[in-house]
Chains A and B, each alone.
Chain A
Amino acid sequence: MAVRVRVLYFGTAREAVGRREEELYLDGAPSVGDLVALSLRSHAALRAIASSMRLAVNEELAGEDERLADGDVVAFLPPVAGG
């Protein structure tokens, strides 16, 4: 019954976590906020910069309340600096 989520880390988030991506499993009907909390539990270095991050679900910006489904891709997006 667990929901499997692929989590992507970019920029400073990638450096803090030490990898580009991982898979996390959550029970019930998890939200983006639940996923963030789970990730922060295992990545202490990410906590310091977490408040500056925004999240994307399946390549679209998403709020903390958005529900996750099995197979969703969640990305941690630090402040951007393209151009």
Chain B
Amino acid sequence: MAGRRAPHLRAGRIDPGEALRGAASRKGGAVALFLGTVRDNGKAGKVRSIEYEAYAAMAEKVLARTEAEVRRRWPGTAGVRILHRVGRVRVGEVSVAIAVSSPHRAEAFEACRFAIEAIKHDAPIWKRERLAGGKDVWVGGVPIGSAREGGGR
């Protein structure tokens, strides 16, 4: 994968159009786009921004593998592209973008859902909320590589 495409991890603002263009294919009849965005509230209170930290070398591999896994599980997949932010992401900004192009809508939706769940369980990425009061809190996660519900679709 290395060198073949631009990286999955981005320190700057994500353009959802880039994910769409990365998944675009003439074989596709349906494109599903998932965007994760930073919301203004968390368990600990009002959120200003989220700081994403990644084990970049490993996360790049995992995200490339997730794209490959989508193609393996849905062999008709026409295109798939995942982008994920690192560093400070403000409320309303995109933290992750997933585009899947498939012959039909059912596979596009399913594969997109699969990809976001896989990212949440398998990618070595962490986040810390910066609260309105200036305090920072780590967001609790799941053990990396742990089984996920509905992953078998």
Contacts of B75 in A (CB 8 A): none
**Candidates B61, B116, B138, B145; contact of A11 at CB < 8 Å:** B138
- Given the known interface contacts A80-B123, A82-B125, the answer about A75 and B142 at a Cβ–Cβ threshold of 8 Å is no
Question: Is there a chain A Cβ closer than 8 Å to B105's Cβ?
Answer: no
Expressed in whole angstroms, the Cα–Cα distance for A8 and B54 within the complex equals 12
What is the interface size of chain B, counting residues whose CB is below 8 A from a CB of the partner?
31
A81–B140 touching, CB < 8 Å: yes
- Given the known interface contacts A54-B143, A75-B124, A77-B124, the answer about A82 and B84 at a Cβ–Cβ threshold of 8 Å is yes
B120–A59 touching, CB < 8 Å: no
Which range contains the number of A residues in contact with the other chain? 10 to 19
Min CB distance B1 to A, Å, is 13
List 14 A–B pairs whose Cβ atoms lie within 8 Å, in order of A's numbering: A59-B57, A60-B58, A61-B145, A75-B58, A75-B124, A78-B138, A80-B121, A80-B142, A81-B120, A81-B125, A82-B52, A82-B54, A83-B84, A83-B96
Contacts of B120 in A (CB 8 A): 80-83
- Given the known interface contacts A52-B143, A54-B143, A61-B145, the answer about A81 and B55 at a Cβ–Cβ threshold of 8 Å is no
Contacts of B144 in A (CB 8 A): 54, 61, 77, 79-80
Chain A window 30-59, contacts with chain B (Cβ cutoff 8 Å), 1 for yes, 0 for no: 000000000000000000000010101001
Contacts of A80 in B (CB 8 A): 120-126, 141-144
